[in-house]
């Protein structure tokens, strides 16, 4: 099926084709086709998928986990399959379903390889896109694994306390805040909360740990 004017308008703004001139885009778009899916149709399942980059040009595509939970909703101008395109996978990690009637342009790994050879800048744009996705995912992972400010402060206190449970912040609390990579106000709030809950007693730069029980239930 030939691309409609609406399909082509979406592709012109898609990151992969933005480096091409209008004259270069014309023959590329003539080689592509869009596939239509009615509402509710499964586009990909874990065992039935294409080794292709899929670009949504109209409608909505739901990204589902095996349980049916929706992880993301793709609309015109967004894509799927970029990270897995050149990977030798036997199963697709998610499932894709047409949330609304949609149109998708599929570009296979072989087709994309030929485009990269013809237009090297496209390959660089593709790498840049993947790098951005990796950075985004790393930030997501950090948000799940990085301890809260209060947990970071507590862990530092426990690690630096002497046998009597006393900690001296050499260089003062300003230096401690920099060491923990948090703001001074955040550090003071964290210490105040720990003191309010009875975990510590603070006297200037000296802090006495009253007990080293778990912080469970403290961070609220």
Predicted pLDDT at 219? 46
Q: Give residue for tokens 């790098």.
A: 131
The whole-model pTM stands at 0.66
Residue span(s) of the chain under CATH 1.10.10.10 come to: 149-209
Could you give the residue range(s) of every CATH 2.60.120.10 domain in the chain? 5-144
Class of domain 5-144: mainly beta
Sequence length of the chain is 220
Q: What is the pLDDT of residue 65?
A: 85
Q: In sequence order, what are the residues at sequence separation of 6 or more whose Cβ sits closer than 8 angstroms to the Cβ of residue 100?
A: 39, 59, 60
CATH code at 149-209: 1.10.10.10
Q: Residue 167: is it exposed, middle or buried by C-beta count within 10 angstroms (0-12/13-18/19+)?
A: buried
Look at residue 169 in the predicted model and tell me its pLDDT. Answer: 79
* Cα(44)–Cα(62) distance, integer angstroms: 10
> Hey, which residues does 106 pair with through a beta bridge?
54
Per-residue model confidence as pLDDT tens for the chain (220 residues): 589 999 999 999 999 999 999 999 999 999 999 999 999 999 999 889 989 999 999 999 999 987 778 888 999 999 999 988 888 877 888 999 999 999 999 999 999 999 999 999 999 999 999 998 888 777 666 555 556 788 888 888 888 888 778 888 777 888 888 888 888 888 888 888 888 888 889 887 788 888 665 544 444 4
């Amino acid at each position: 099926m030939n691309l409609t004017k609406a399909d082509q308008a979406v592709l012109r703004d898609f990151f992969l084709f933005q480096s091409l001139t209008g004259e270069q885009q014309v023959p590329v778009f003539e080689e592509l086709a869009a596939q239509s899916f009615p509402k509710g149709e499964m586009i990909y399942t874990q065992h039935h998928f294409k080794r292709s980059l899929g670009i949504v040009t109209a409608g909505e595509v739901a990204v589902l986990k095996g349980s049916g939970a929706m992880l993301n909703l793709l609309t015109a101008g967004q894509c799927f399959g970029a990270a897995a395109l050149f990977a030798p996978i036997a199963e697709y990690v998610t499932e894709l379903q047409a949330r609304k009637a949609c149109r998708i342009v599929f570009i296979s790994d072989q087709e994309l390889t030929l485009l990269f050879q013809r237009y090297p800048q496209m390959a660089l744009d593709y790498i840049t896109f993947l790098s951005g996705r990796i950075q985004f995912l790393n930030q997501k992972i950090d948000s799940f694994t990085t301890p809260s400010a209060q947990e970071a402060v507590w862990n530092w206190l426990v690690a630096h306390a002497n046998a009597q449970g006393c900690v001296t912040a050499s260089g003062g609390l300003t230096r401690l805040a920099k060491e923990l990579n948090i703001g001074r106000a955040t550090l003071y709030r964290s210490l105040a909360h720990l003191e309010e809950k009875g975990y510590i007693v603070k006297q200037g730069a000296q802090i006495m740990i009253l007990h080293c029980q778990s912080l469970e239930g403290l961070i609220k």
